[in-house]
Amino acid sequence: MPRKLLQNLSPFAKWLVQFAEERDATLTAIAHQAGIAPGTLRYLVLDPKRRPSLETCLRLSALSGRPTDELLALAGQVTDQPIDPYHPDRVKIIRIFDGLPPTGRSALLSVAITLDEVMQKDSGT
């Protein structure tokens, strides 16, 4: 991408374009590798006001090896809660959830809620 065009991009979009160039890949290829809809990455580059979701940052973090909190900071999304380190299985859980039918998603959510309640009881909080 010409340098002049890079100057007009948001910091996150600049990183995304440079990451794709370093991998000698298109945004579409990066999106497929990360499990993200290709249009999502294109819109993040084309519209400087758009910000990636936490899930998008998690998936790009898993692909790039760059910490999620750094990607969120590039996107202008600063949080007081620690984002990293997330367990690498988090993206796997998201992918499993995405592939489930609605009843499966409800069941998985019920299991997670029950597990959370048990863990809170065990920790005394």
Instruction: Give me the CATH number covering residue 19.
Output: 1.10.260.40
pLDDT of residue 15: 94
Enclosing domain of residue 14: 1-83
Measured CA angle at 31 (ends 25, 33), to 5 deg = 75
Same domain, 78 and 97: no
What is the reported pLDDT for 82? 60
pLDDT tens across 43-81, in order? 999 887 888 988 898 899 989 989 888 888 898 887 666
Same domain flag for 77 and 96: no
**Domain total in the chain:** 2
